[in-house]
Amino acid sequence: MRFGVYRILPHFPSHLDLHLLLSPLISLSSPSFSSSLSIHSYPYHSTSSFLTHQKFHSGGKISPILRPQTIGYNKEQRPYATMDLGEETSEFKRELYPDIEPHISGQFNVSDLHSIYWEESGNPDGHPVVFLHGGPGGGTAPSNRRFFDPEFYRIILFDQRGAGRSIPHACLEDNTTWELIKDIEKLREYLGIPEWQVFGGSWGSTLALAYSQSYPEKVTGLVLRGIFLLRKKELDWFYEGGAAAIFPDAWEPFRDFIPENERDCFITAYSKRLNSEDIKTQYAAARIWTTWEMMTAHLLPNEENIKKGNDDKFSLAFARIENHYFLNKGFFPSDSFLLDNIQKIRHIPTVIVQGRYDVCCPMMSAWDLHKAWPEAELKVVPDAGHSANETGIAAELVAANEKLKAHLKTGSTLK
């Protein structure tokens, strides 16, 4: 019998008081396939190393591409092995990779209404990995590329409907989990990728689970961070007063923006304002909604992150799309939908990274996922909150990708 391993890094006594405070509280609770592209030089390879160049037909289809053999992923090696978690990820690289630029980027029409921004960086002949951003509505950032070895991975980033550089901006029409899952598949097919590794944090972990459960045969591995299963108790914890016990100072502006007679459900109350016909009302609600989350996303306050709440373009998409998904319970048919369908992905090599003091997505969700899926490795970072940019979490995410990289290169069972 195979047993999963739950591993916690050494706990720091300086966080004991917060641990004691947080633990009991946590227990409370057919589209047009046109595309415009910008093509740049490939990093990590000299110009002479490429045998042929990319060609793009009118209508945006990508022609077959001849690429040189590179070290790294062998497409004949397709391991679908259950993870044996005896090996410490501390043996793998843990430092973020240097900044890189995409060599291809473009807009991809996934429907008559929505066009999503996408980009590719790293090794164009490497093992594909797709990055699923959080929010929903958060969009991607250049720093997201740094979790992956650019000589091994073909790194695909895209902004989900209405987010980041996708258009229409902050649009809620035809914007559901199931439409996003279709978009991921359309993008995979458009790029000519037979299968890929999936990486997602926060809402990205939700979408990664939902996508992999819908298309398990297309997923070679999963790295999940800050687990969010979009259950009622998780939404109640963060938006109905639970997390206020940890951040009362940040909670009060969020609470006080809503009149007392509408405070029985803050998600509903904010929905009314985020969808107001008055754009000034939308912006005001979006700034407060976004600031609440940005103030709670790190173990220690991060001023640069908090400033995102004052960016009207970012906060409008972030708040409107998040609220839309949460009001509709993620468009899932049941509260425990993702946990109920773990059997479909149990065979996929997976690493889960969770900050011990994550207030946005409390550890109870990662723990519930771990209990339902012991074959996946759970890494708990003892001195971190929610953000992927916190030092300990970033290190574990890099190590997780390195571990899956080693698995792909050797084709052997992870140990």
**65-91: per-residue pLDDT in tens?**
333 333 344 444 444 344 443 445 458
Dihedral Cα 113, 119, 125, 127, nearest 10 deg: -80
In 3D space, the residue among 132, 129, 133, 131 whose CA is nearest the CA of residue 151 turns out to be 129
Q: CB–CB of 166/321 below 8 Å?
A: no
The CA-atom distances, in angstroms, between 304 and each of 3, 159, 172, 289, 307 are 41, 21, 27, 17, 5
Residue (of 339, 317, 239) closest to 29 by Cα position: 239
Q: What is the pLDDT of residues 270-325, one digit of tens each?
A: 999 999 999 999 999 999 999 999 999 999 999 999 999 999 999 999 999 999 99
Measured torsion, CA atoms of residues 136, 175, 206, 1, in degrees rounded to the nearest 10: -170
Residue 81 has what pLDDT? 41
Question: Contact at 8 Å (CB) between 204 and 177?
Answer: no
Burial profile 389-404: b = 16 or more Cβ within 10 angstroms, e = fewer: bbebbbbbbbbbbbbb
Model pLDDT, residue 412: 56
Architecture of domain 35-231+334-410: 3-Layer(aba) Sandwich (3.40)
Structure-block tokens of residue 400: 């997780």
DSSP 362: -
Domain boundaries, the chain: 35-231+334-410, 233-331
Quick check: helix, strand or coil at residue 379?
strand
Residue 414 has a pLDDT of 56
User: Do residues 143 and 179 lie in contact, with contact meaning Cβ atoms separated by under 8 Å?
Assistant: no
Low-confidence residues in the chain, pLDDT < 70: 1-90, 412-415
Please state, in angstroms and rounded to a whole number, the distance separating the CA atoms of residues 191 and 196.
11
Q: Which residue has the tokens 């571990």?
A: 403
Distance CA(76)–CA(371), nearest Å, equals: 33
Q: Which residues are catalytic?
A: 202, 358, 386
* Rounded Cα distance, 283 and 342, in Å: 39
Contact at 8 Å (CB) between 374 and 118?
A: no
Q: Are 395 and 384 within 8 A, CB to CB? A: no
Whole-number Å distance between alpha carbons of 137 and 78: 33
Q: What is the dihedral of CA 282, 180, 351, 29, to 10 degrees?
A: 50
pTM assigned to the model: 0.82
